[in-house]
Structure 1
Amino acid sequence: MSGDSVMQWGDHNIGIVKSEGAVSAQDALEQLVRAALQLRERVSASEREVIDGSVAVLRAGEQDRGRLRRALVSVAGVAALVGDVGAPVLGAAERLMEAAGLR
């Protein structure tokens, strides 16, 4: 059996909201690149190098899944280390991993 299993008690419950549709891999990639470039302006020079290398791989187009996954992990690692300011990159990286089947 698959799906959600939810237990709710009390009054005025609205259930689970699932209004977010699936994102294409291309849309997810574009979101990640935009978020990474915005984050780039707020990090140190060494972290910018990591972001630049990852964005170059992401923009390169067709390539092996291992290389793409390493670029995702690298940019997500920088985002995780800088705290709340990196949250958009983490979210975008997660959406791309899901859309591209890299989980």
Structure 2
Amino acid sequence: MMRLPQREVVWILAQEVEDDRRVRPEVRELRHLDRALWPSPEEESDSYAAARVFIEIEEEFFKHQAWVRSQYNKHGYVEADEDFLADGARVQAWCGQRLLRRRRRS
């Protein structure tokens, strides 16, 4: 087990749900609709499929945030296994590559 860098802990704890005014209309619509009323994957358009994935990723992140908060409040730090840290490094590298591609296109 290794400690998460304090900078990363602070960043995770500072994240909030994206304001409805700043998300795509499909995300906003699904957020306010009972899950039982969501279109089935067969019925939904690509934009609703993307909205569903966005919301699912957002929910998973906030579950993770709750875990980080509980560990930080309990111990004053957060420990994670090496696999978790390696996954985080891969995600950061992927995000960095996407950002570079966007800058090159601009």
TM-score (norm 2): 0.29
TM-score (norm 1): 0.30
Q: Normalized per residue, which structure has more helix?
A: 2
